[in-house]
């Protein structure tokens, strides 16, 4: 029998880094492949990678954001590739710029249908938002770990706001325990 924590899948890892200097995005957009740069629509250079599948957003300030990666390793691989490409173009990039994880979005499954009305009452309105006319999921804000979980009637959930891979697992265990304590799981 599988446990809900085994259902956790990382959907997106968002991270940031700093190249440490201002960049000429117009020139970079011509010299780098697989980029889009339209400053009228978005202030950064969009650099898409396909292996691993992720996107780096590079800003004039030298800040870089990686999004769309499915793991922390993919973030590191993507940004290292971007840094190497910039070095080849003569940009002075530090040997190992710090990469900071900003947000990890994960999905999971409690393997039970959920009565979201009962859960909203049971968990308390101070940490829950549930307006089924507006959004079909219940929004549950946890303090420890500091994440937001979206629970759906199907038993599926999305956990966002974590900065460590363990945050989703800890949140799912806590939610499962709370729902069991309230008698609201299977």
pLDDT tens for each residue of 63-117: 999 999 999 999 999 999 999 999 999 999 988 899 999 999 999 999 999 999 9
pLDDT at site 74 = 97
pLDDT at site 144 = 95
Residue whose pair of structure tokens reads 């010299």 in the numeric block:
31
DSSP letters of 54-109? EEEEE-TTSEEEEEEESSHHHHHHHHHHHHHHHHHTT----SS--EEEEEEEEEEE
pLDDT at site 1 = 45
Full-model pTM: 0.91
Q: Which residues of the chain have a pLDDT value below 50? A: 1
d(CA 179, CA 108): 15
């Amino acid at each position: 029998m599988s446990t809900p924590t085994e259902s956790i899948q990382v959907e997106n890892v968002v991270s940031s880094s700093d190249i440490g200097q201002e960049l000429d995005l117009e020139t970079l957009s011509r010299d780098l492949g697989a980029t889009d740069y339209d400053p009228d629509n978005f202030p950064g250079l969009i650099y898409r990678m396909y292996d691993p599948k992720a996107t780096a957003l590079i800003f004039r300030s030298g800040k870089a954001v990686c999004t769309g990666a499915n793991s922390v390793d993919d973030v590191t691989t993507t940004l290292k590739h971007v840094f190497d490409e910039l070095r080849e173009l003569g940009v002075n990039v530090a040997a190992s710029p710090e990469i900071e994880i900003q947000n990890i979005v994960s999905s999971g499954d409690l393997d039970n249908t959920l009565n979201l009305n009962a859960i909203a009452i049971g968990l308390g309105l101070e940490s829950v938002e549930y307006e089924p006319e507006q959004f079909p999921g219940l929004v549950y804000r946890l303090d420890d770990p500091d994440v937001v979980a979206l629970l759906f009637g199907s038993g599926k959930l999305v956990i966002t706001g974590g900065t460590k891979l363990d945050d989703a697992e800890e949140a799912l265990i806590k939610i499962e325990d709370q729902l069991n304590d309230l008698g609201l799981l299977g």
